[in-house]
Chains A and B, each alone.
Chain A
Amino acid sequence: MSKHPYLRAYLAGIAVPTMLMLVVIIVFVVVRFVFNVPIAIERLLVFPMAVVPNLWGVWNMFYVRLESRRLPLGIHGAALVLLLAPVGFTLARALEIGVVTPGLALTVAPVGLIAYYLLWKHIVGFLNQLLGVG
Chain B
Amino acid sequence: MSQAKHFFEKHRKLAVLIGIGILIILPQLTRSNYIRGVLARIIVYATLASGLNIINGYSGQSCLGIVGFTCIGAYSGAILTTELGLPFLASLLITLLLCAAAGFVVSLPTLKLNGMFLSIITLGFSEMMRLTALNWQKLTNGPLGIKGIPNVELFGWKVKSGAPFYYLALVALLLVVFILNRLLKSRVGRAWIAIREDQDAARSLGVKVSHYRCVNFMTGAIICGTMGVFIAYYYRYVSPDMFSLDEGFNVLSMCVVGGSGTLFGPIAGAFVINLLTEGFRFASEWRMVMYAVLIITMMWVRPQGLFGAKDSVIAGQMSFWNFFAKKNKKKEDGDVNHIGG
* B is a partner of A: no
